[in-house]
Structure 1
Amino acid sequence: MTTFAALVFVRLLLAFSPIPDFLADNHQLTSPLTSFTRLNEGVFLLKNGFDPYAGELVRHSPAQLVIFSTILPPSKPLFHLIWTLVDALAAWSLSSVWSARNKQRNARREALIQASYLLNPYLVAPSLALSTSTLDNALCILTIYFASKGRPGKALLTLALLTQSSLYSGLLLFPISLLLRYGPESRLANPKAVSDWSKLLRYLAQYAAFMAALALWSTLVMGNLRWIKETWGATLTVPDLTPNVGLWWYFFTEMFDHFRNFFLMVFTALNIIGVVPLTLKFQHDPLYAVYLVIGNVAIFKSYQTMADPGLFLSFLSIFPEVWSYLRHPLPTVMWHLYAATLLPLFNNLWLGQGTGNSNFFYAATLVFGVANGAAFLDSVWAGLTVPYGEIKQDHSLIQI
């Protein structure tokens, strides 16, 4: 507990230091869907009786606009405190997921997991920039926490709230349903097919009911359906090509209009196509399937920030049984260090100094994508090879 308090205190010191002033609206840390400046714009419009979605600038969910226009006053110091406490809650929940998985408490291990979240640069920087991706990550971890504790109502409601602001999070429904049914225990070393799928339809119906209720409430609050186009629609159609660390923005900047719809379908399929195979392959360990789906979405989502792969990398801390099976951890770490150096450098050369161009920054995002892909593929391989850990080294392993 002392270590956790010290970590939170360090985060508070960073939040109230001059550092956040240099990170606001940074393209690597925020996106059109998570920008604090755009959130403020939407809150201002809503409080003054205007439709926040009329100008095609605000992309935040109606729930976020309502909360920050009614419950929480617009005070930046208060927001920094809230963002830090939200990160603290997420870190505590992540360590609790590990405890539920292993059915034990270990103060040292929990402190390491909490540190992996609270000191992860990919998560610290977006939080200091007041990116709402911090709130999305916390909702994601809370969903997994409730599912690990076997609380379907809370888990599915939290997932529905998360889907309101981050549409691709709805892809977690399938593995989350399995997690609710079979629990978070580690079964990577003993893969067995799931025999009873009867409760999954009930979870699906419950999630659909929550989504319908939230959509109806959002429509009543906003007074029209325009919010769907500007939030969920923006995620799928990518109308705002503001630079970010993802793979979409530059590609669609250069794309001929008559090819745009085809490649929107292709890029969207990259997020969706892996969900069922990953979940079915790791159905014996649904928590690991959730982890891999998070990693897949973090690579291919349309408006990516550093917080997305940051969540995936921090989640690796609760799976120590796979660490020894990672094939290329050192190159993956080096790719991330390389990308973390290039991204701010090329961003400054392009938008700060004016001595570079968009190709510089996009080249760095490609390196970042390779680093994230390497971490994801290594995690898949490690999860597949755990059952064969006792095979002698003079044997080769092929798994289909």
Structure 2
Amino acid sequence: MEKKKRGFWRWLIASVMLRLILIYLPKTFNLASRPEISTPLVSLRRLAEGYWLKKSSMSPYAGSMYHGSPLLLSLLGPLTVKRIEGQPDHLLCSDGDDSLHILGYSLVFVIADIISALLIRATGHTLQMAYRQSLNSLDIVDLFKSSDSLSSGDVAALVYLWNPFTIAACVGLSTSPVENLVVILALHGACKGLVPLAAFGWVMATHLSLYPAILIIPVILLLGYGPDTPPRKLFLQKGYGKNGDNHSSDNCGQQETNHSKAEVTFSWRPVIHFLFWSSLWSTYVLVLCSISVKPHGSLWEMFRRTYGFILTVEDMSPNIGVLWYFFAEVFDFFRSFFMIVFHLNILFMILPLAIRLKHRPCFLAFIYIAISSMLKSYPSVGDSALYLGLLGLFLDELADMQFSFFLLCGYIGVSLLSPVMHNLWIWRGTGNANFYYATGMAYACLQEYGCSFTEDSDLYSFSLPPPPTIIILQIILVVESVSAVLNHDRKLRKLSVTKLRDGNS
């Protein structure tokens, strides 16, 4: 055990050193200008522009540059200013020659990545312990024998730290590490039963990027039911089977029935506390935002320039998503209709997924994050880094997942092709927008496949609009992961029934 811990900390320190080396390199490979990393919502260059407007006694939302939170502007804005003696303040983002100054403010994102990895690790340990206890109560704990390798929490944390997408978002002057941190904070607080922490993480995540609002469902399920377990009807079957066999042992039967009910009962008390704390944190955030924007604007302007900007897809600069190209080509007469269709696609999947996966709320959160990162208005590789890190939490359940090698090759191929196609289109002029959009389609399809479940997954099939290459990867990833988890549950059901029959005989 000690050897495993030492190995984990060595890999963590090595990942930090790699980030610092890449940050210190001059120009940092110009990652801050890559459309896969910096979007209108997470670009630190735009944040620096908004801070300059604020310091110049203007609204940070004047013009069309900044569309983020005023709180994030107050926290990170001062770090983007380089003060030179005898000269006026210069925005750091417009002068990248001072590597030491870059290292100073980039440490914020490095620290955010480290904290996120440690929270993922702690969440993984909580999920693993709860799942082992559930298997033990079903007398099938021997299904997963302990191995000498790292635990699922350690693996998930290291996957998050060493994921090239995570490193690129950290080094490329993107605020995605901060947004990922508050999402992970909400899931960690819900898994641990820390209601104020879960509410704070969910409120801040929703405030920063809007789409995490749908995570309220898995968070409530985590607080009400607890961490992921096998299907709850297995506990009922086991309790009823024992009661039927031991007519003479009334006390034993009553004990098993009570245990089964305890496994199935939904606890409303932590949910009510969560709603209370969420209201409290939301009020506090709105008050702070009002104070921040009051001298030069209003809360209504903030909502219009942040959430309205997200929902109306005003900026159609290229990114790895599916909306920019579509709305650049669609007629204005149909724009509102298709905006509603695209946004409702996310909402239509929430209820069926929650009903089918309510016994695995943490895995449900992973699915929601993957779907929203695929269909959101301005996606970046930082969004993919989050759900790929959470994927490592479910090593046992996804052991039989298909197309793993294909997914790995797909992500590598898209990561290499995307900058090439962008260069051919923008700089060399030998290609067109379809070249770059094709890589985006492949990427999204690798995720979006998870939203059109097959009959084998016991879910209805959802029809989505034609996606861009990064989307194909997302489709396959989500569908195959859900299918693997449902097959895992079927395997547990068979083992449980076999145990009951053996006990009866």
TM-score strictly above 0.5: yes
1:56 equivalent to 2:64? Answer yes
Please give the alpha-carbon distance, in whole angstroms, between the structure 1 residues aligned to 2:27 and 2:224.
44
How many residues were matched structurally? 392
Q: 2:120 aligns with which of 84, 87, 94?
A: 94
Please give the alpha-carbon distance, in whole angstroms, between the structure 1 residues aligned to 2:415 and 2:232.
34
Please give the alpha-carbon distance, in whole angstroms, between the structure 1 residues aligned to 2:187 and 2:366.
10
Q: Any conservation in 1 of the 2:182–2:205 contact (CA below 8 Å)?
A: yes
C-alpha deviations, 1:20-61, integer Å up to 9, x for none?
242112101111001111011011111222101121321111
Q: Any conservation in 2 of the 1:15–1:84 contact (CA below 8 Å)?
A: no
Question: Which structure 2 segments of 5+ residues have no match?
Answer: 1-8, 83-100, 131-145, 236-262, 442-468, 495-505
Q: Which amino acid aligns with 2:195?
A: P
Q: What displacement does 1:390 show?
A: 6.2
Q: Which amino acid aligns with 2:288?
A: W
C-alpha deviations, 1:346-391, integer Å up to 9, x for none?
0111122222111110011001011011101111111211111268
1:374 equivalent to 2:400? Answer no
Please give the alpha-carbon distance, in whole angstroms, between the structure 2 residues aligned to 1:219 and 1:150.
31
Q: Any conservation in 1 of the 2:230–2:489 contact (CA below 8 Å)?
A: no
Please give the alpha-carbon distance, in whole angstroms, between the structure 2 residues aligned to 1:269 and 1:197.
30
Q: What displacement does 1:202 show?
A: 4.5
Which residue in the other structure is 1:38 paired with?
46
Which residue in the other structure is 1:398 paired with?
none
Q: 1:263 to 1:182 in 2, by over 3 A?
A: same
Does 109-118 or 288-297 show the bigger shift?
Answer: 109-118
2:202 match: secondary structure: helix
Q: 1:351 to 1:118 in 2, by over 3 A?
A: same
C-alpha deviations, 1:321-349, integer Å up to 9, x for none?
12223122222222222211221110111
Identity %: 28
Question: Which structure 1 segments of 5+ residues have no match?
Answer: 393-400
Q: Any conservation in 1 of the 2:71–2:292 contact (CA below 8 Å)?
A: no
Q: What displacement does 1:107 show?
A: 8.6
Q: 2:439 aligns with which of 351, 354, 364?
A: 364
Q: What displacement does 1:268 show?
A: 0.4
Q: 1:256 to 1:208 in 2, by over 3 A?
A: farther
Which residue in the other structure is 1:198 paired with?
268
1:240 equivalent to 2:315? Answer yes
Name the TM-score, length of structure 1 as normaliser: 0.91
Report the aligned-residue RMSD.
2.4
Q: 2:289 aligns with which of 213, 218, 221?
A: 218
Which residue in the other structure is 1:351 paired with?
426
Q: Which amino acid aligns with 1:369?
A: I
Q: 1:108 aligns with which of 128, 150, 158?
A: 150
- Taking the TM superposition and a 5 Å limit, the aligned residue runs for 1:294-305 are 294-305=369-380
Structure 1 or 2, whichever has the larger Rg, is 2
Q: Any conservation in 2 of the 1:87–1:118 contact (CA below 8 Å)?
A: yes
Q: What displacement does 1:276 show?
A: 2.2
Which residue in the other structure is 1:385 paired with?
487
Q: What displacement does 1:19 show?
A: 6.1
Which residue in the other structure is 1:117 paired with?
160
Q: Any conservation in 2 of the 1:11–1:118 contact (CA below 8 Å)?
A: no
Bigger relative contact order, structure 1 or 2 (CA pairs below 8 A, ≥6 apart): 1
Which residue in the other structure is 1:85 paired with?
111
Q: Which amino acid aligns with 2:490?
A: Y
- Taking the TM superposition and a 5 Å limit, the aligned residue runs for 1:1-400 are 1-18=9-26, 20-69=28-77, 75-103=101-129, 108-109=150-151, 110-187=153-230, 195-196=265-266, 198-199=268-269, 200-223=271-294, 224-225=298-299, 226-366=301-441, 367-389=469-491
